Structure 1
Amino acid sequence: MTQNAGHNLIEQEKEGFKGLFVMKCGGSTLAALPNSFFEDLRELQQGGTQPVIVHGGGPAISENLAKLGIESSFVNGLRVTTEEVLDVVEMTLAGSINKAIVRRIQGSGGQALGLSGVDGNLIQACPVANNAEVGLVGEVTGVKAEIVTGILTMGYIPVIAPIGVDAGGQRYNINADTAAGAVASHVQSSKMIVVTDVPGIMRTIDGQKVVLPSVTVQAIEDLMESGEIYGGMIPKVRAAMDCIQGSVSEVVIVDGKEPRVLSRVLQGEELGTRIIRTN
C-alpha cells in the first residue's frame, strides 16, 4: 500500500468512522481485566468506533528471563537489551501476550489482528541516544499509518507489540508508552486512553486522597517536585506524559476495572485523570 493510499484511508476514517482512539495497556493489566472490559471493546467496535491497542508486558518479560537464567537490569527505567534479551522480549510481547489479547477480544465476539512493529516495517526505529548503556533499545523514527488504517478498514482491531526495526532489519525494544504515542500521532488520533490498575492521578486534599480530574503536564511536574506524586505512580504518570506527542493533545489515565470505562470516557464522562498539553 502506498503512502498516498494510507493518507486516503486516514481521510476516510475521519469522514466515515465514528472515532479512532489509541489505547495503551500493560500486558499484566490486560490479563487481570474482567470480561466486561472486552465486551465493552466489542460493542465499541460493532458501533463503528475504531480502537487501536498498543501493549507492553514488562513483568512477563522479567519472568521469562528469570526462567531462562538470563540476567536483566534497568537504566533510568529502560531495560538493558542485548540480542539474547531481545529474543525473549520479542517472544513474550509479539508471541504470548499479543496473542492472549487477541484471544480475549475474539472470545468476547470482537475481531482483532495481532502484529508487532516489525511486521511490514510498521514501527521504524533507531538506537536511543544512550544506546551504549542500554543496548538495543530504540526510539521511533516513523510509523506506517496505512497498515493500521488498513487493518481497521478490514474490520479488525490492531493489537500492536512495541518491537521496532530499522532499514537494515535490526530489531529494537521500544518503550510501550513511547510506541503508543507515536502510533496515535501518526494515525492522527487526538486522544489516548492509558488503561491501568489505578483510578487516576491522586492528590491529598483536606487529608483525603482524591482523583484529579484534569491536570496539565506542567502541573504534574510540580506535583512530582513537591512529593505529592510519589512511588509507583511516578512511572505511570511519566509514561502517560510520554504519550503526548504530535497530534495527541490529551491522555486519559483510567482504571480498567471501572464498568464500561472505555465507552464512558469516549462519551465525555469525567473518569480518571485527563492529562492535557496546555492549560
Structure 2
Amino acid sequence: MEKTIVIKCGGSVLSDLSPSFFTSLQAMYEQGMNVVLVHGGGPEIGKMLQRLHVHSEFMNGLRKTTKEVLEVVEMILAGKVNKQLVALLQQYGLPAVGVSGVDACLLQAAPIDLEKLGYVGKVVNVNGDFVANLLQSRYIPVISPIGADKDGQKYNINADTAAGAVAKAIKAAQLLFVTDVPGILRDGAVVEEVTIEAIERMMNEGIITGGMIPKVKAAIAALSESLHEVMIVSGKTPFYKNGQWYGTMIRNEVGVY
C-alpha cells in the first residue's frame, strides 16, 4: 500500500478551511498518497442543541451525551458536517466517501463512564480492512466519529481519539491535526520539528499556551510504535506543496529545539 496519511479536522476549523487546504490534499492525492479524513463538529452541534433547547454540559473536555444529545450529535456529525466536507472535496476533484464509525462496524465502541458521561465512547476496535478497501479503490474516506457496540448502541467519540485509533489500525505513516494556526509558534516563528520532551519543556516555559495545549497533548497521545510522526498544520494556508510539508512535526525520536 502507498503512504497513508490520516488528517483530523476539528469542528472549529471546518468553516475556515481555505482553498489552499484542498490544493494541498490534491497534491498529496496526485502523488499517490492515500488520504483519510476524520472530522469533528463541536460548534455545529452546540448551535443545534441550543436551537432545539437541549441541555448539554462538558466534563473534562468531553460533552456529556444523553440519548437526546446523542440524536443531535449523530444528525450533525454523520449528516450535515460529513456531507458538507464530502461535497467540498468533490468540488476539488477529490473522490470522497462519507461514512460514520457505525458503517461496516468501522469504530467499535464501549462507554467511557456511562454514569458520568452518558453515551461517550472509547474505540475498542477499528475495521481497518474496510478503510483499506476504500483506499485501494482510490477513494478518500471521510469519517464522522460516531461508534457503536455489538448490540448496536451508538456512542459519541472524541474526534482526536478516533483519528488516532484509525491511524494506528491502518498503520498510517503520518497523522495530521488541522488547526487555525500554522503549527507551534516560538517567537512568532513555526517550530518545524519537536520531541515530546521539548513540548513538555515549552509548556512549562509558557511557549505553548491556551488552545494549543490540548492539541499537542492529543498529538502526543496518538504517537505509537507504528505511528512515529504527528503534524500540527494550518487549514488556512498550504501544508503540503512540491513535496514539502509546512507545520510542526512531532516525533518520538530526537528532534530540533
Pairwise same-fold verdict (TM > 0.5): yes
Q: Does 1:60 align with 2:49?
A: no
For normalisation by structure 1, the TM-score amounts to: 0.85
Q: 1:226 aligns with which of 202, 205, 209?
A: 205
Q: CA deviation at 1:216?
A: 1.6
1:181·1:245 contact (CA, 8 Å) conserved in 2?
no
Separation (CA, whole Å) in 1 of partners of 2:191 and 2:27: 28
Q: Relative to structure 1, is the Cα distance of residues 131 and 237 closer, same or farther in structure 2, using a 3 angstrom cutoff? A: farther
1:239 — aligned with what?
218
1:198 alignment partner, SS class: coil
> Aligned residue for 2:160?
177
Matched, 1:69 2:47: no
Identity among equivalent pairs (%): 49
String of CA shifts for 1:232-271, please: whole Å, max 9, x gaps.
2212222222322352111110112223x2345xx344x2
> Displacement, 1:212?
1.8
How far apart, in 1, do the equivalents of 2:210 and 2:27 lie? Answer: 36
Who is 1:209 aligned against? 188
Superposed CA offset, 1:157-212 (max 9, x none): 00000111111111111110110011001000131111111121123xxxx33322
What RMSD, in angstroms, separates the aligned Cα atoms of the two structures?
A: 1.7
The letter of the residue matching 1:238 is K
Greater Cα offset, 170-179 or 245-254? 245-254
Query: So what's the TM-score if we normalise by structure 2?
Result: 0.92
- The residue aligned with 1:272 is 247
Question: What's the counterpart of residue 8 of structure 1?
Answer: none
Superposed CA offset, 1:16-75 (max 9, x none): x3x211111113413221223223323432332110101111111111111111111111
Q: Would the aligned equivalents of 1:177 and 1:242 in 2 still touch at CA under 8 Å?
A: no
Residue type at the aligned position of 1:137: V
Q: Could you tell me whether the CA contact under 8 Å between 1:42 and 1:105 is conserved in 2?
A: no
Please identify, of 24-33 and 134-143, the stretch whose mean Cα deviation from structure 2 is larger.
Answer: 24-33
Q: 1:230 to 1:30 in 2, by over 3 A?
A: same
Unaligned 5+ runs, structure 2: none
Please identify which structure carries the higher helix content.
1
Q: Are the counterparts in 2 of residues 181 and 248 from structure 1 also a CA contact under 8 Å?
A: no
Q: Name the structure 1 match of 2:171.
A: 188
Report the secondary structure of 2:109's partner residue. Answer: strand
Following superposition, which runs of at least 4 residues in structure 1 exceed 6 angstroms of deviation?
none
Count of residue correspondences = 254
2:22 and 2:147 map into 1 onto residues whose CA distance is 27
Q: Does 1:22 align with 2:9?
A: no
